[in-house]
Structure 1
Amino acid sequence: MSTLKSMYTAISDDPFPPEMTITLGGQTLTYAKRAWTIDGEERGLRYGENPDQPAALYELTGGGLTLGGVTFRGPGQGLVAALSEEHMLQAGKHPGKINLTDVDNGLNILQYLAARPAAVILKHNNPSGAAWSQDSLADALHKAFYADRIAAFGGAIVVNRTLDAATAEIVNSAYFEVVAAPDYEADALAMLKTKKNLRILQIPGIARLSELSAAPFLEFKSLIDGGQIVQFSFQNRIREVADFLPGQATDKAGLSITSRAPTTAEAEDLLFAWAVEAGVTSNSVIFARDGATVAIGTGEQDRVGCVQITISKAYTKYADLLAWKKHGLSIYELTQKAASDEEAANHLREIQAETEAAKGGLPGSVLVSDGFFPFRDGVDLAIGVGVTAIAQPGGSIRDTEVLAACNEATPQVAMVFTGQRSFKH
């Protein structure tokens, strides 16, 4: 066991060269391997996805790329790849590939949430909770954390404003691996540094995320035969509420159907949730309310199953929050205690009943789906737990049936189309 544990504390030597060059149709991109001098020793990435996988981080340092009249993000616009010793305010146990790709996906989401203080907590390259706030960064992080207190354990926090003392208190209240921000107030940084294993990253480019989001970046997918699929990165076309398309469709018989438009509050929540959707593995749906995620469904093979599982997750998270606030135990700890303690069993039954009555906190929430609904079943499930508005790409041959499900609901549910799919694999 000691050997297995030591795997996770080791830092792998990597055989990768200091430079990498990619040439596409005569256009050359030059990359430099990123390493940091920590504790007097130059080190690159801790390791890759697993301790026995050497890995290296490369920063784009030269050249440029234009394809189809579109210019890609170029040198001098680095974020995670541009981290230097100056910006690695505390190395903790030294960053590995997963730490940095989690932060990167947080930035992928935050590039569409620049209008307000926002926070994203990520685990295994998916957000566990996300929120933005009209009030403060601390309020946003508080909402993001309590959206999924369980999954946040050991996660990476990424925020889009200078991290202050009130926000640092929330970071220090639980166990996190990484925190990244554009800057830190001095007292906040001092508080965070009391957590010696916390990796504290300053990424000044976060302040320019909305500007950077105007251009795509180049994505590579490596195949097991060594081949490569290259694609333009996803770019969110929904940057403001007015970008949503009306929910309307015509069936084969010529019957036209239109859903009601969302209220201002619903539209704002749909806008927020669609931005978060850019960072969620497909098939996925997100329930959101009051500028925060309520439940995030990730990586499911069928859409109705994804809705079903996400509802179940919402119930579990709601029950856990009740157990934590009332008894200082997770829902799993309370369940275990209830097996041999009658008082705990009573508490558990009360929480289960309260969770059922509250439908997992889902009533009044909105739903976004990264792909269209091929059938109305997923929509019917969402309506059944109290969703009031839905955004989805549109384009299904059964759009009229899906819209009809919204119109048949009492009260009537709003639906808008995004006009684009947001798959992420």
Structure 2
Amino acid sequence: MSDIKKMYTTILGDSFPMDMTISFGDQKLVYRKRTWGIKMEDGSIDERGIRYGENPDQEAALYELVNGNLTLGDCKFIEPGNGLVSAIDVQDMLQVGKHPGKINLTDVDNGLNIIKYLTEKPAAVILKHNNPCGAAIGESLSSAYDKANRCDRIAAFGGAVIINRAVDIDTARMMAENYLEVVCAPDFEDGALEILAARKNLRVIKMGAIDRLADFEKFRFIDFKSLIDGGIIAQQSAVNSIRSINDLKPATATRKGVEYKCDRQPTQREIDDMIFGWAIEHGVTSNSVLYIKDGCTVGIGTGEQDRVGVAEIAVHKAYIKYADIVCFDTHKIPYADLCLEITQGKRDIADKETIDAKVLEDRANLPGSVMISDAFFPFRDGADVGINQGCTAILQAGGSMRDSDVITACNEADPKVAMMFTGQRSFKH
């Protein structure tokens, strides 16, 4: 067992070159590999790059764009000097913990990809395996983090937290109660780092550029996908264009000469949740469906092959996570541990029955939520999943041949459900 565990702490050799140049015709982009001089326990300095890639047997390297400007067609891509994750310096690593690997850095990057649209209020995003497991905005940072953590306390274990305000004492105390891999913030107030230091393996990153994340809303970069034959697909990065009610479109359709439109218009709260939810959707692996309520995720379904299936999975997860947080609030242990103790005869089954009844009564907090779909519903069955759980509004791309059926589903609901279109798909593969 000790040999197996050792592979997760071993830093692989790094065979990647210090410099990399990519040519697009006569235009060139120049990259420099990022390494850090890490101070060891004996006081020596060890120059290191990334610990390893997605798995412990994969070498990896992080490169920062240091020179070159790229314009293709009408698109001018991001220029050097705008580094975020690729510009992390050793001074930014306020606590190294375990040396960062590729997954830690890509989780932080996708957290920034989401939170760049949430700059107006304190916001927190917790990610695992490059998908958000909880995201929220709040009147205070501690409120935003607490809400994000309570969305999915189970998945947040070992997660990366990205926030857009300086970490204060209250938020640091909440974070220190959990096992986290990474905390990334623009700054840390006096005393916050000392609290986080109780978690020895935690990586704490100060990223001052978070304060100007709004500038990155419209930046484009080249998105590469390498193929198993050595080929590469290159595309422009996605940009979220749904930033206010003015960007939303009424849900209307015409089929066989008949015009369809939603009978009910969304409330201001539902519109706010639509805008918030579409920002979260920007960082979720497709196919995906989210349930959003009061500036917070309730259920997140990611990466499924069919839309009705992912809508159902998001509901299923919402019930599981809600049962866990109710159990934790009541008994200070996870729901799974409660069930285990019941089978072991250490607890009365009535404890579980009380929690299960509460979850069913509250319907996992889904009633009143806004359903977000990153693409259109090919059939009404996907929308019906959310409607049957009590969602009161839907945001989707629109453009399906059966938009009229989905509009009919909203109008047939009791009470009626509002729906808006984005006119924009938000796939992320």
Per the shorter chain, which TM-score range? over 0.9
CA deviations on 1:75-107 (whole Å, 9 max, x unpaired) are: 000000000011111111110000000000000
- The letter for the 2-side match of 1:292 is C
Instruction: Could you tell me which runs of 5 or more consecutive residues in structure 2 were left unpaired when the two chains were aligned.
Output: 40-44
- Aligned residue pairs: how many? 424
Q: Is the Cα contact below 8 Å between 2:338 and 2:347 reproduced in 1?
A: no
- The letter for the 2-side match of 1:44 is G
- The letter for the 2-side match of 1:266 is E
- The letter for the 2-side match of 1:403 is I
Which residue of the partner structure matches residue 33 of structure 1?
A: 33
Q: How much has 1:343 moved relative to structure 2?
A: 4.3
Which residue of the partner structure matches residue 6 of structure 1?
A: 6
- The letter for the 2-side match of 1:5 is K
Matched, 1:315 2:322: no
CA deviations on 1:110-160 (whole Å, 9 max, x unpaired) are: 111111110000000000000011x11111000000010000000000001
TM-score of the aligned structures, taking structure 1 as reference length? 0.98
Q: Is the Cα contact below 8 Å between 1:103 and 1:157 reproduced in 2?
A: yes
Q: How much has 1:193 moved relative to structure 2?
A: 2.0
Among 397, 403, 409, the alignment partner of 1:399 is: 403
Q: 2:263 & 2:106 partners in 1: Cα distance?
A: 39
Q: 1:173 & 1:259 partners in 2: Cα distance?
A: 47
Q: 1:142 & 1:202 partners in 2: Cα distance?
A: 20
Q: 1:257 & 1:296 partners in 2: Cα distance?
A: 28
Matched, 1:106 2:111: yes
CA deviations on 1:354-413 (whole Å, 9 max, x unpaired) are: 211211111111110001000011111111111001100000000011011001111111
> Which runs of structure 2 are paired with 1:220-231 in the superposition (5 Å)?
220-231=224-235
Q: How much has 1:71 moved relative to structure 2?
A: 1.0
Describe the SS at the equivalent of 2:58: coil
CA deviations on 1:31-82 (whole Å, 9 max, x unpaired) are: 0000000021100000000111000000000001111121111100000000
Matched, 1:275 2:271: no
Q: How much has 1:13 moved relative to structure 2?
A: 1.1
CA deviations on 1:323-358 (whole Å, 9 max, x unpaired) are: 111112211111111224384311111111221121
Instruction: Could you tell me which runs of 5 or more consecutive residues in structure 1 were left unpaired when the two chains were aligned.
Output: none
Matched, 1:126 2:146: no
Deviating more after overlay: 55-64 vs 325-334: 325-334
Q: How much has 1:311 moved relative to structure 2?
A: 0.6
Which residue of the partner structure matches residue 381 of structure 1?
A: 385
Which residue of the partner structure matches residue 70 of structure 2?
A: 65
Q: 1:260 & 1:393 partners in 2: Cα distance?
A: 18
Q: 1:137 & 1:32 partners in 2: Cα distance?
A: 35
Q: Is the Cα contact below 8 Å between 2:281 and 2:290 reproduced in 1?
A: yes
Among 175, 195, 204, the alignment partner of 1:200 is: 204
Which residue of the partner structure matches residue 420 of structure 2?
A: 416
TM-score of the aligned structures, taking structure 2 as reference length? 0.97
Q: Is the Cα contact below 8 Å between 1:245 and 1:417 reproduced in 2?
A: yes
- The letter for the 1-side match of 2:252 is Q
Which residue of the partner structure matches residue 334 of structure 1?
A: 338
Q: 2:197 & 2:385 partners in 1: Cα distance?
A: 45
- The letter for the 1-side match of 2:360 is E
Which residue of the partner structure matches residue 371 of structure 1?
A: 375
Q: 2:119 & 2:423 partners in 1: Cα distance?
A: 22
Describe the SS at the equivalent of 1:186: coil
CA deviations on 1:206-244 (whole Å, 9 max, x unpaired) are: 111111211211100000000000001110010122211
Which residue of the partner structure matches residue 173 of structure 1?
A: 177
Q: Is the Cα contact below 8 Å between 2:147 and 2:296 reproduced in 1?
A: yes
Among 208, 213, 216, the alignment partner of 2:217 is: 213
Describe the SS at the equivalent of 2:91: coil
Q: How much has 1:322 moved relative to structure 2?
A: 1.1
Which residue of the partner structure matches residue 42 of structure 2?
A: none
Q: Is the Cα contact below 8 Å between 1:337 and 1:345 reproduced in 2?
A: no
CA deviations on 1:185-223 (whole Å, 9 max, x unpaired) are: 121122212322110001111111111211211100000
Q: 1:421 & 1:333 partners in 2: Cα distance?
A: 40
Q: Is the Cα contact below 8 Å between 1:285 and 1:296 reproduced in 2?
A: yes
Q: 2:57 & 2:107 partners in 1: Cα distance?
A: 19
Matched, 1:116 2:117: no
Which residue of the partner structure matches residue 358 of structure 1?
A: 362
Q: Is the Cα contact below 8 Å between 1:92 and 1:199 reproduced in 2?
A: yes
CA deviations on 1:280-336 (whole Å, 9 max, x unpaired) are: 111101101111100100011100011111111111111111111111221111111
Deviating more after overlay: 327-336 vs 49-58: 327-336
- The letter for the 1-side match of 2:79 is G
Q: How much has 1:27 moved relative to structure 2?
A: 0.9
